[in-house]
Amino acid sequence: MTVTDPGARAAAERAGRELEDASALEILGWAAETFQEQFCVTSSMEDAVVAHLAARVRPGVDVVFLDTGYHFPETLGTRDAVAAVMDVNVITLAPPRTVAEQDAELGPALHDRDPDRCCALRKVEPLRRGLAGYRAWATGLRRDESPTRAGTPVVGWDERRGKVKIAPIARWTQRDVDAYVAEHGVLTNPLLDDGYASVGCAPCTRRVAAGEDARAGRWAGRGKTECGLHG
C-alpha cells in the first residue's frame, strides 16, 4: 500500500535538495522545528548516534525501537541503557504475536523458511502502526552501508507510510560515526566490538569478515539484504 500526497511529497523532496549539504544537526533541527512532537527517531540500537544528535536539537525526543522478539540480549541492553542515561523517550513497539504464538500458528523458524514474511509480521507492520501518530521519522541510514542505500536522500518522502523520512547521517561514513561516538561517548551495541558490523535479529545476523560489506552479515545466504522497512 502507498499513501499518495503530491504536495507533501514535493515539499519533502524540495527540503531534501535544500538540505543536501547541511550538517546532521541542521537537518534534525529543521525536522524538529517543522514537525515538533510529530517527529521521532527510529533506532535498531546498533548505536545511539542519531538518537544522540536528535536529543541535542529536541531534548526528550521519541526514540522508537522495534522489539521483534528475536533480538540479541546485547541489543535489549543497549535499548535499556539508552532509556536510562539519555534525554530521550524510548518507545518499544512489539508485534501482535509473540514468537511462540507465531511458531504455533505458522510453524517454527519462519525466519529460515520465509524471512520476508517474518520481517513483514515482526517489523514492517508493527512499525507502520507505531508511526501512525507521526508526520516524520528519522533513521540512521547511510549511503556507504551498501549499494542499495547509495541513493538515500537526507530528506525524502516515504510513499508507503505517507510520511517524511529523514536520514540525517546519510552522507556520513563509518569513520564519521566512529569519530562522533568517540567525541560524545555515545552508547553503542557491544556486538559491534565482537565482529558484527550491522546488528539485527539474532537468527538473521552473523559476524562479518575483514573487507566484507557492512551488511553482508544480515540474512547471509538467503538472497535478502533489507528487512522491508526502507523499501
C-alpha cell of residue 117: 514474511
Assess contact for 163 and 134: CB atoms under 8 A: yes
Q: Which residue is nearest to ligand SF4 (CB)?
A: 201
Query: What DSSP string describes 45-105?
Result: SSB-HHHHHHHHHSTTEEEEEE--S---HHHHHHHHHHHHHSSEEEEEE--SS-HHHHHHH
Nearest C-alpha neighbor of 50 from the set 172, 160, 231: 172
For residue 42, state whether it binds ligand SF4 (rule: CB under 6 A): no
Number of Cβ within 10 Å of residue 123's Cβ equals: 21
For residue 127, state whether it binds ligand SF4 (rule: CB under 6 A): no
Q: Which stretch binds ligand SF4 (CB under 6 A): 48-56, 77-85, 119-127, 131-139?
A: 119-127
Angle at 23 between CA 19 and CA 27, to 5 degrees: 50
Q: Which stretch binds ligand SF4 (CB under 6 A): 114-122, 162-170, 176-184, 207-215?
A: 114-122
Residue from the set 61, 204, 208, 229 that interacts with ligand SF4 by CB under 6 A: 204
> Which residues are within 8 A (CB) of 170 and not within 5 positions of it... i.e. 6 or more apart?
141, 142, 143, 152, 153, 154
For residue 118, state whether it binds ligand SF4 (rule: CB under 6 A): yes
Q: Report the C-alpha gap between 152 and 63 in whole angstroms.
A: 21
**Catalytic-labelled residue, pool 12, 227, 228, 229:** 227
For residue 215, state whether it binds ligand SF4 (rule: CB under 6 A): no
227 in active site? yes
Q: Report the C-alpha gap between 176 and 206 in whole angstroms.
A: 24
Q: Which stretch binds ligand SF4 (CB under 6 A): 117-125, 151-159, 176-184, 209-217?
A: 117-125
Q: State whether residue 210 is helix, strand or coil.
A: coil
**What x-and-dash track marks residues 69-98 binding ligand SF4 by CB under 6 A?**
-x----------------------------
> Binding site annotation covers 40?
no
Rounded least distance, CB 109 to ligand SF4, Å: 9
For residue 111, state whether it binds ligand SF4 (rule: CB under 6 A): yes
For binding to ligand SF4 (CB under 6 A), which residues are involved? 68, 70, 111, 115, 118-119, 122-123, 200-201, 203-204, 227
Please give the positions annotated as active site: 227
